[in-house]
Homo-oligomer: A and B are copies of this chain.
Amino acid sequence: MSMGNIIVGQSGGPTAVINSSLVGVYKTAKDRHADKIYGMLNGIQGFLDERYVDLTEKIKDNLDIELLKRTPSSFLGSCRFKLPEASENEAMYQDIFNKLKKLEIKHFFYIGGNDSMDTIKKLSAYAKEKNYDINFMGVPKTIDNDLAVTDHTPGFGSAAKFIGTTLKEVIRDGLVYDSKNITVVEIMGRNAGWLTAAAGLAKAEDCEGVDMIFLPELPFDVDKFVDKTINLQKDKKNLVIAVSEGIKTADGKYVCELNAASSDFVDSFGHKALGGTASFLAHKLASEIGCKTRSIEFGTLQRCASYVVSRTDLSEAFLAGGQAVKAAFNGESGNVITFERTSNDPYHCTTHSYDVNAIANVEKKVPLEWITNDGTYVSDELVDYIRPLIAGELTPIMTDGLPRHLTINDLNR
């Protein structure tokens, strides 16, 4: 029996495995006899301009599927678009549903974070109110791991694996010279410290780990930071310190705003506004201590590093897409696929289909009891929570010495 036409979109910041969720939606829908499978370009914003593609023309065979699983960033492009309330702009809703009707869409899938889930929440509510026979399902995605209800979010595990892998190398690199030096590493996460906490993964049998970790969940005191660093350096010449881009002082000021150079430009820099936290602290330490310091911003590398992708993360991203299709085909709407950890060691998760109202626009932070040593490190419980999410690898498919990706030319350049 035919399941009708479906459409899928990607929204918010890209991850290393967001396309694995896209493949999960595509392959599961295809296997379950969907008719047309459309992909909206640049999310709901592009759809409003009638920009979409027929995915069966873009994903031609099983090799394309394997390549797309391994392709970082958003295959269909993305957007940061907040849908107005229907009460504020019903015309836009009518426009969207007319366009969906024109394509005879029966099922609508949106892959994104808590902001993007707001779109699923509003469209599903409007459809119910107006009795449109279209199911809206959310597929969770974010490197920030800040989604409510779900144990964790696809995209986080691979970013965490990149951070752990790279920090082990940065620590080795810092040890080579027989002289004092301090490296401050800046990690993404404006309000939630999950990614920065992944710095705790670097501590292992073959690595002493980073020396301090500062999350945005607690206020940051620059002077205490300098004092603690001076203390640590009494016993250890080479220090590596991980800080979140979002750490703030007690008066609510971002540390990077203390950086003259960056705050001058805050307005003209979109998401780069928070850049410069590590740079500011490295400069501060250099002038206070006088030893060699350096700052490293992982920046976008941490969200698109597909060559250190976590197999667990990639498989769960695919699963989330597939489960969303199954739920929609069973008539569900206004739900998001969530993960429940039924066992940590050995690791096992089950999935649920959960009410989007509990997830949209909600931000899950790191519990304070998982932050230790007077706010300078993370607990073993937190590392034990992250560890299974970085397990396993997926070998890239290489051509000409570099990882091969699947791409489309339909995005505006």
Contacts and interface: CB of A to CB of B under 8 A. Distances in A.
Nearest to A413: B236
A181 B286 CA distance: 33
Interface stretch (A52-60, A102-110, A202-210, A250-258): A202-210
B399 A204 contact: yes
Interface residues of A, number: 90
B286 A296 contact: no
A21 interface: no
A335 interface: no
B307 A296 contact: no
Nearest to A72: B169
Interface string A296-319: 110111011111101000000000
Given A77-B177, A169-B301, A237 B293 contact: no
Contacts of A77: 175-178
Given A270-B292, A292-B272, A177 B299 contact: no
B390 A177 contact: no
Closest 5 CB pairs of A and B: A261-B261, A73-B172, A390-B401, A169-B304, A270-B292
Interface of A: 10, 14, 41-42, 45-46, 71-74, 77-80, 161, 164-166, 168-170, 172-173, 175-178, 181, 183, 201-202, 204-207, 235-238, 259-261, 265, 268-272, 275, 279, 282-283, 286-287, 290, 292-297, 299-301, 303-308, 310, 387, 390-393, 395, 398-407, 411-413
